Structure 1
Amino acid sequence: MSSCESLSQELQTLFAFIDQNSEQFIDLLAKAVKIKSISAQKDTRDDTIFMVKWFEQQLQTRGLTTELVDIGSEQWPDGQTLPLPPVLLAQLGNDPTKKTLCVYGHLDVQPADIADGWNTDPFVLIELDGKLYGRGATDDKGPVMAWINIIDAYQSTGIDLPINLKFIFEGMEESGSVGLNELIIAKGSTFLANVDYICISDNYWLGNTKPCLTYGLRGNAYFFVEVKCAAKDLHSGVYGGSVHEAMTDLLALMSKLVDNKGNILIPGVLDDVLPLTASEEAMYESIDFNHHSYREEIGTKRLLFETKSEILAHRWRYPSLSIHGIEGAFSGAGAKTVIPRKVIGKFSIRLVPNQNPDKVGQQVIQYLENEFAKLDSPNRLSVIRRKASKPWIANTDNDNFKAAKLAISSVFGVEPDLTREGGSIPVTLTFEEVTGKSVILLPIGGCDDGAHSQNEKIDRKNYIEGTKVLASYIFHLSKN
């Protein structure tokens, strides 16, 4: 950490308050984790709605003006209709002489149960060896609660909030952010009209020791490949050897998508990918990333590539194709001699800048239809595009990134690495397109936090020092 002499008096005071109130901040996170805001389950939809309203109350008690925006309802496969969690809009400060920052976060979480392999109750925040375990601890309740912490720090120390703050918090991010893009577009000329910067803290450091700032995300194109062979499931002893089986056709098609070296086999998909420049490759070499530890964390003997720069490039700036599963196939324990009447293969392509999801979608569909024709099968093929998000890459030479770099330096005493992410956060590009302003991804969690996995956690140090980073970030934003 930088010496106190290099920090302003305001930051010294804020950091001291955060240290002195760390237990209070952890208690607040524990209350948030306790709420089972699993957006993907019907039986916890009321909990998810309660989570949004509980968080609204937290903001209101701190003087923020709030609004819950109804975004309608959704129909489940069984025909039941449930209300969607409202989107929470909030604002603190309306000083026209100050800059305005809009913060996005989400309040819902992935499903979790101790039977899934958790060592502790996923909805009880437990601290072990400086790690705070609980569903949502890092994705995204920890970072969201950190914003409440900094409001407390400024208000309790009597230091004037240096910028105006606006918040957009949703409860459906883990279920596709239903209705959020439309809401952001609708609020472009009102709630978002005077926003100067946008910050999202819904990602993670590249490692465990060095902070980073994220300036790029891959997009995503998701596909279903459906093959039907019969009107009903068939007994393989009665019908096997006499029918063209749907599974056989599907496996033949799926095997032609990607090879065992990770090369995408669909013609034209790579045509628009920008070439790797020497300066970009050199930047990858300088990033604090241990690819041997990365391999060990995964638990594999060998990765697709051998050097650090190759691995980072193929995680971030090259497209990848992953096969995710087959619906309709027998997957239970034991043996079952069924020929499924219909199977659906599922795969996705992570897209990179300069690739167009619509163009890639057309290439995929045409390729699979051509390959299916070569099988001379009487079965029926349907290729369905399920969802798509565009890639995003930011200009890092602006006041938003400069303030974040200064904030990290003031807390950790190091310059952050500039990194990209292999995953997708579609709302990032939506904010940029609607507002025309700089969007930054400012992570506070570590690479091993296990978001979406068993035993999700955030380190105490990351949560508390991350709160300091956010407090310093808005301080430096106000100086630009």
Structure 2
Amino acid sequence: MDLQRFHEYFEKNREKHLQELFEFLSIPSISALSDHKQDIERAAQWLKNQMEQLNLENVSIDQTAGHPVVYGEWLHAEGKPTVLIYGHYDVQPVDPLHLWKTEPFKPEIIENKLYARGASDDKGQIFMHLKAIEALFSILGTLPVNVKFIYEGEEEIGSANLPSYIEENKDKLAADFILISDTNMYGPGKPAICYGLRGLTGLQIDVRGAKSDLHSGLYGGGVQNAIHALVAILDSFRDHTGKILVEGFYDDVRPLSNEERKAFADLQFNEEALKEELEVNELFGEEGYSYLERTWARPTLEINGIFGGFSGEGIKTVLPNEAGAKITCRLVPDQDPDKIIALIQNHIEKHTPKGVTVTVTKFDSGAPYLTPFDHPLIQTASKSYEKVYESPTAFTRGGGSIPIVATFDQILNIPVVLMGFGLSTENFHAPNEHFHLENFDKGLRVLCDYLCEVANLSL
């Protein structure tokens, strides 16, 4: 397709689009704070108005047990694929306010970067999809594909009510694939497609010994110390190389293909620079894998916190009767969070020292997600990036988790394409969040090209 027409359209309408985005960013739609419930409603209404101005159909604000979902559709591209575009209009709280150099909800452009809460995560990026649709309508008079929008207001608080909404509206949300812009590029000027995300599961271990703390002079050496017992359990989880020793933990791990390992190696990740940045003398992890492979495509078991005993000033000569730890595991395809928890519980039972009892409490979990990076939808996205950025697209996996992606996969059973335009340096969730307008400008063209090219795929 001829990108020049889209370039001219976005250049002509840039100021208008930015003013509209300023309006959107000025709404303090903080989902975590009940005081902002009306602002959440305002943001939802703002999106509804935008969709109606685009002449989308069946536009609605759908109420949930929490914050609403905004929906809209256009389904007149007969015989062409249908894309479900997802994003979230809620934002994180702004504290600590004194660290902001601009006001969080008064957008300001400084050195071609747009500063505001939500600029990058995720209002700026979902706004781009609306403007891409606007440009396609304006230039082509129609859309090359069928589109459905689903924008939610609870992503920053865990999307608690979205799974039930998706389940109840499976027919309404039916599509050939899902398109999401809520991830990062590999670096400035370096586009990336994230084709996989690790899952997550967690638990708390509580160890209890005697009925109360005991005097170490009277009972030391004769009664089990809860902290010693906890340390023994925790030490049994991994060997000195970082290999996880829980029986069956790796059984379902899908290995990396040779093509994936080559794609990771081609990124030429600088481990020495990372060590310098983190101020560590050595990186650590499972033997036989690079840093990217360990953090993107291998599972983990990490101790996040330990508590118990006396930690105040000075010393207190006691045998603690209680101790605990919090643990999380990052999981990869095809690991099941419930199965992993069961394996860890069995391991704990086998390695619990005498003289204590152990209770395990499970936390929330999310499944891993993977779209094969040679999928036509992924490869087409790569080509659209490269046309605009004139740079090879990196194929990455996310070491973190976006549980709702796996939920979409499990309920709707369709591919998910993660085309992000943010940068990891843009302070999302932190003071001075910003969005590089270079990626705003180029991203609009990428999205238009992608939707036009997807129209030619047989899905």
TM-score norm. by structure 1 comes to 0.82
CA contact (8 A) 1:289 1:308 kept: no
Q: Report the alpha carbon displacement of residue 178 of structure 1 after superposing the two structures with TM.
A: 0.8
Letter in 2 for 1:460: L
1:85 pairs, out of 67, 70, 74, with: 67
Using the alignment, how far apart are the partners of 2:79 and 2:337 within structure 1? Answer: 41
Q: Which residue in 1 is equivalent to 2:167?
A: 185
**Residues 254-269 of structure 1 mapped to structure 2, 5 A cutoff:** 254-258=234-238, 262-269=242-249
Using the alignment, how far apart are the partners of 1:306 and 1:389 within structure 2? Answer: 23
Letter in 1 for 2:364: K
> In structure 2, do the counterparts of structure 1 residues 473 and 280 end up closer, same or farther at CA, with 3 Å as the change threshold?
closer
Name the count of aligned residue pairs: 453
Letter in 2 for 1:413: E
Letter in 2 for 1:36: P
CA contact (8 A) 2:189 2:389 kept: no
CA contact (8 A) 2:60 2:72 kept: yes
Q: Which residue in 1 is equivalent to 2:40?
A: 48
Q: Per-residue displacement from partner, 1:272-314 (whole Å, max 9, x unpaired)?
A: 3244454432222112543344444545443226999701100
Q: Per-residue displacement from partner, 1:175-218 (whole Å, max 9, x unpaired)?
A: 22112122222222x2123x222111111122223101121111
2:192 pairs with 1:215 = no
Q: What SS class does the counterpart of residue 365 from structure 2 fall into? A: strand
> In structure 2, do the counterparts of structure 1 residues 281 and 151 end up closer, same or farther at CA, with 3 Å as the change threshold?
closer
2:252 pairs, out of 272, 277, 282, with: 272
Q: Which residue in 2 is equivalent to 1:413?
A: 390
> In structure 2, do the counterparts of structure 1 residues 20 and 264 end up closer, same or farther at CA, with 3 Å as the change threshold?
farther
**Residues 286-435 of structure 1 mapped to structure 2, 5 A cutoff:** 286-287=266-267, 289-304=269-284, 310-325=290-305, 345-372=325-352, 374-377=353-356, 380-435=357-412
Q: What SS class does the counterpart of residue 121 from structure 2 fall into? A: coil
Q: What SS class does the counterpart of residue 346 from structure 2 fall into? A: helix
Letter in 2 for 1:361: I
Q: Per-residue displacement from partner, 1:338-364 (whole Å, max 9, x unpaired)?
A: 999976532211111122222211011
Q: Per-residue displacement from partner, 1:143-173 (whole Å, max 9, x unpaired)?
A: 1111122123234446422222101111111
**Residues 145-294 of structure 1 mapped to structure 2, 5 A cutoff:** 145-157=127-139, 159-188=141-170, 190-193=171-174, 195-227=175-207, 249-250=229-230, 253-258=233-238, 262-287=242-267, 289-294=269-274
Using the alignment, how far apart are the partners of 1:135 and 1:301 within structure 2? Answer: 35
Using the alignment, how far apart are the partners of 1:240 and 1:61 within structure 2? Answer: 76
Letter in 2 for 1:66: V
2:92 pairs, out of 107, 110, 129, with: 110
CA contact (8 A) 1:235 1:337 kept: no
Letter in 2 for 1:273: V
Using the alignment, how far apart are the partners of 1:122 and 1:296 within structure 2? Answer: 32
Q: What SS class does the counterpart of residue 363 from structure 2 fall into? A: strand
Letter in 2 for 1:71: T
User: Which stretch shows the higher mean deviation, 461-470 or 220-229?
Assistant: 220-229
Q: Report the alpha carbon displacement of residue 269 of structure 1 after superposing the two structures with TM.
A: 1.2
User: Equivalent pairs: percent with the same residue?
Assistant: 32
Using the alignment, how far apart are the partners of 1:246 and 1:43 within structure 2? Answer: 43
Using the alignment, how far apart are the partners of 2:100 and 2:159 within structure 1? Answer: 26
Q: Which residue in 2 is equivalent to 1:63?
A: 55
TM-score norm. by structure 2 comes to 0.86
Q: Report the alpha carbon displacement of residue 336 of structure 1 after superposing the two structures with TM.
A: 9.9
- Structure 2: which 5+ residue stretches go unaligned? none
